[in-house]
Each structure stands twice: as C-alpha cells, then as structure tokens.
Amino acid sequence: MKGNSTKERILYAALDLFAQKGYDGVGVDLIAEKAGLKGPSLYRHYKGKEDIFNSMIEMVASHYREGFGLHPKAEELPDSMDALIADAMQRLAFTMHDDIVKKTRRIFAMEQFRSARIAELTTRYHLENLQQLYTGMFAALMDKGILKKDDPEYVALEFVSPVSLLIHMYDRQPEREKEVIEKIQKHFEHFANVYACDTRGRG
C-alpha cells in the first residue's frame, strides 16, 4: 500500500476499495481497516466519507495531470508512421497495466454521474486530453509530410476513439485482453494505411 502519512494511506485504501465495489458498496470501517486503523479514527483526518472520496479523486486527478504532463516535446516527435504506432502502443501498455490508472478508470466509470466535477474529469480523462495530445502531434506530423493534410482534430478523434472504447472493454472483460490489444494494433495499422502520406494503395 502506497502512501506514507496516514492521510495518504487512507486515500490509497479508498482508491482500491471504491474501484472494486463503488462508493456505496464500501463502508468506512473497511477503508479504515485497509489503512491500518479503526473507522472512527478516519474522522481525525477527514470530515467524512464524502470528503475521503473527493480528496481521493483530487489526488488521482493531480497524479494523472502530472503523468500526462509528458506531452512529447517538439524534438521527440515520432518521425515516421511506425514510430507513431510504437509510441502509441507503449502508452497503451502503460494505461492498461498501471495499477492506479486502472483503478481510477473503474471509479470514473462507476461514479461518473455522482457530481459534475467527476463527469467533467471523466470526459477529460477518456476523451479530451487524449484527443488534444494527438491533435497537436498530428498537426506537426502533417507539417513534416508524414501524415496527409487534414483536420488534425478529427483525425485525432478517429485515432483515439477506438482505443478508448476498447480499453473500456478490457476493463470490464480483462479476460479478453489479448483480443483487445490485437484489435488496437490492427486499428493502428488501418489508420496508418488510411492517413499516412507514403502509403500507396490500400485494401
């Protein structure tokens, strides 16, 4: 269990349990036990269950913000279609297997209707941030003559959406992981065939 201070341990315990059974499915005593104390002691650190939940959300949100800060710099742009796909596959592997990211996704899926704040974060997390990242990247690749000239925002949407959707599928049916990865791989290849500059003839 990550987290050094008790406050942090509580948040990581909450993250893990809420990801398993949802907000209403977890009692405060269980969170406390996982964090190494008794239920009432939680109230020395947080105002209540809702406060624990919100604090945990803000923690993973900032964790995510940091991890996502690694937008590729100009000189790190992929310089070919193959490099683009390799880069995307690496991001995929991280997203699919990082523990915190996985739990965060599950919570967002289950609790997306709990508040406007969470709804907003969910949309950002599942769609907008990814689309924005690739919009910038594709605009640059179009300039460099690697991608065909097109509206980079919508090319990014086409690129990102199947991945996001298939990751959701993996989240709820992890036994189909292989199938998901294969389909994403094939989707990338199909994307390359359609949008790359130097590809002659398709189909």
Partner DNA sequence: CATTATAGCTAACGGTCGTTCGCATTGTCA
Partner DNA sequence: TGACAATGCGAACGACCGTTAGCTATAATG
Contacting DNA within 45-64 (CB under 7 A)? 45, 48-50
- Nearest partner of 31 among 103, 113, 48, judged by Cα: 48
158 counts as binding its own copies under rule CB under 8 A: yes
* CA within 13 Å, CB half, 51: 8
Closest CA to 23 of 42, 47, 51, 46: 51
126-163 in b/e burial notation, b at 16+ Cβ within 10 A? beebbbbbbbbbbbbbbeeebbeeeebeebbeebbebb
49 binds its own copies (CB under 8 A): no
Closer CB to DNA, residue 24 or residue 189? 24
Q: Least distance in Å: CB of 173 to its own copies?
A: 5
Tokens of 169: 């599928």
The whole-angstrom separation of Cα 108 and Cα 22 is 10
Residue number with CB closer to DNA (24 or 99)? 24
Assess 178 for contact with its own copies (CB under 8 A).
no
| Among residues 2, 40, 90, 99, the one that binds DNA under rule CB under 7 A | 40
Q: Does the protein bind DNA through residue 20 (CB under 7 A)?
A: no
Nearer to its own copies, 4 or 113 (CB): 113
Answer yes or no whether residue 115 interacts with DNA by CB under 7 A: no
By CB under 8 A, tell whether 151 contacts its own copies.
yes
Helices (H), 69-176: 81-97, 99-111, 116-123, 129-143, 152-172
| Candidate segments 7-15, 30-38, 43-51, 123-131, binder of its own copies by CB under 8 A | 123-131
Q: Residue 72 to residues 75, 91, 148, 196, 197: CA-CA distances in angstroms?
A: 8, 12, 20, 20, 22
Q: Pick the binder of DNA from 11, 28, 60, 139 (CB under 7 A).
A: 28
Work out how close the CB of 195 gets to its own copies at its nearest, in angstroms, rounded to a whole number.
8
Q: Which lies closer to DNA via its Cβ, residue 45 or residue 103?
A: 45
Window of 29-37, 100-108, 151-159, 172-180 that interacts with DNA by CB under 7 A = 29-37
Instruction: Tell me if 29 contacts DNA by CB under 7 A.
Output: yes
Residue whose structure tokens are 């949309």? 123
How far apart (Å, rounded) are the C-alpha atoms in residues 42 and 6?
A: 9
